Amino acid sequence: MEAYYPYIKALHLIFVVTWFAGLFYMPRLFIYHIESRDKGKSEAAVLGTQFRLMERRLWYIITWPSAILCTLFAFTLLAIMPGWLQQGWMHVKLGFVVVLWGYHLLMHRMFLKFQREAFSYTSGFMRIWNEGATLILFAMVFLAVVRHSLNWIYGLLGLIGLAVLLMLGIRLYKKLRKD
């Protein structure tokens, strides 16, 4: 099975990328969907129909399959390399995987509300929500790449610093958008 390791790892990484692509783009569609309600009644109806279609296709054709395949290939990698489960960095990374799945499932609940046009989110909230996937991605990539040499305190401080920078960026965008 070890001979297949590079192929399985490549497939895992491909589905990580496509899963995150879905998680990054879905909130963006939600933002456009929310803002389309400010249009005239007939334009909002047409846009709402189009956004629901785009959201369904992204969610069910790209995001869900990618999440499942990414996870299956990850379990396969762990079966090939069981020693990773003894390492601290992997425990932390798997913790972030649980957080990522929680984020995904919450996004699914949002998706279902948007499909029914029964959402109560603001575009500002969705812009902040969108950064959750960014923080998870940064944490997981650094854990996977740096592994043993990572000082956990500096890693945590870096993640908090990134969150602060992202929030400042959102505030700046909001200010520039009003001007």
The binding site consists of: 12, 93
State how far the Cα of 38 lies from the Cα of 35, in Å rounded to an integer. 6
| Residue spans of alpha helices (H) in the chain | 5-36, 41-57, 64-80, 88-115, 123-146, 152-178
Binding residues for heme: 12, 93
DSSP for residue 39? S
Residues 6+ apart with CB under 8 A from 162: 134, 135, 138
Q: In one letter, which amino acid is 10?
A: A
- Give me the count of residues in the chain: 179
Q: Which amino acid is at 168?
A: L
Q: What is the DSSP letter of 87?
A: S
